[in-house]
Structure 1
Amino acid sequence: MTELDLIDRKIVAALMQDATLPIAQIAEKAGLSQTPCWKRIQRLEASGVLTQRVALADPAKLGFGLTVFVGIEAPDHSAEWREAFADAVGAIPEIMEVYRMAGEMDYLLRVAVSDMAAFDRLYKRLTDAVAIKNVTSHFAMERMKFTTAYPVDTVSR
């Protein structure tokens, strides 16, 4: 784990809230001048702390009104199956996130689709691509909280 000082944490927190902020505003939030702030941002990117700068969009306004959390139980745990599964989920852009889990399910997927018919097509595409022992789908009725910003401590320790 990369050890971040208070200034680094303030920079990261500012960028997670709004990556479009000008360097001058980020520097002000971090208590730095612009050049040292820019150098820190470059170092945070080079070290992998900052991985991307992206725009967030409203899924419903883009036609992705249905969010589904899909639990997958693998038929086996071989390297060959894991590779085939990774290839299959990687080829389906509506699968937004994939986590290998501990517990009752082996994998948890977050899927964004337009409607139930689109989910059915995705389900068939996935199960045709790779053998799966069990699939359990949970349909989100309402997104009550969503953030991509981690709760970085920006207070002096």
Structure 2
Amino acid sequence: MYELDDLDRRLIAALREDARMPITRLAAVLKVSRTTAQARLDRLLDSGAVLGFTIRARHDRNSIRAIMMIEIEGRSTSQIIRRLRGFPELIALHTTNGGWDMVAEIEAAGIGDFDRILREVRQIEGVLNSETSLLLSSL
């Protein structure tokens, strides 16, 4: 496994801010040569330390965002994950420990969609219990 050093961590942090940053700009931000920046990025990709690049979309200010904790019955986790991935309103799924088995991040266009998604998730066979908290402010 490739061990990250300070330059690797700074490179990853810069890409988290702007995954589309050109390599010349990335090199300038890191205060290294273009060749060094490219070599480090290639090594991070080849080692699997960086799996890919993505975007962060601005959340619609009128959308309803929430976290839903989900308790799952027995060994039905794989089936439930497949079902949950079919809901576009669930923007991320996480397994967790403690009293809940999963956490889902929800973003719904309005209260009607929010109510519908809560109801549909709770109706999935194998979902025993859930608790949802609205996200009021992002800090």
TM class, shorter-length: 0.7 to 0.9
What is the CA–CA distance in structure 2 between the aligned matches of 1:55 and 1:41, rounded to whole Å? 18
Q: Percent identity between the aligned chains?
A: 23
Which one-letter code corresponds to 1:49 in the other structure? A
Structure 1 CA distance, aligned partners of 2:20 and 2:12? 13
CA distance in 2, matches of 1:92, 1:3: 37
Residue 29 of structure 1 deviates from its aligned partner by 2.9
SS of 1:60's equivalent in the other structure is: coil
Q: Which amino acid aligns with 1:95?
A: L
1:3-152 to 2 correspondence within 5 Å?
3-60=3-60, 65-74=63-72, 76-78=73-75, 81-144=76-139
Any conservation in 1 of the 2:70–2:130 contact (CA below 8 Å)? yes
Q: What SS does structure 2 have at the residue aligned with 1:39?
A: helix
Q: Secondary structure at the match of 1:25?
A: helix
Q: Equivalents in 2 of 1:40, 1:57: separation in Å?
A: 27
Q: Secondary structure of the equivalent of 2:38?
A: helix
CA contact (8 A) 2:71 2:130 kept: yes
Report the CA distance between 1:28 and its aligned residue. Answer: 2.5
Count of paired positions = 139
Over aligned residues, Cα RMSD in angstroms? Answer: 1.9
List gaps (5 residues or longer) in structure 1.
145-157
Using a 3 Å threshold, how does the CA distance of structure 1 residues 141 and 3 change in structure 2: closer, same or farther? same
Q: Aligned-pair distance for 1:117?
A: 0.9
Which letter does structure 2 place at the counterpart of 1:109? Answer: A
Residue 101 to residue 39, structure 1, CA distance change in 2 (3 Å): same
The secondary structure found in structure 1 opposite 2:127 is: coil
TM-score where L is the length of structure 2: 0.86
Are the aligned partners of 1:69 and 1:137 in contact in 2 as well (CA < 8 Å)? Answer: yes
Greater relative CO (CA pairs within 8 A, separation 6+):
1
Could you list the runs of 5+ residues in structure 2 that have no partner in the other structure?
A: none
| TM-score normalised by structure 1 residue count | 0.77
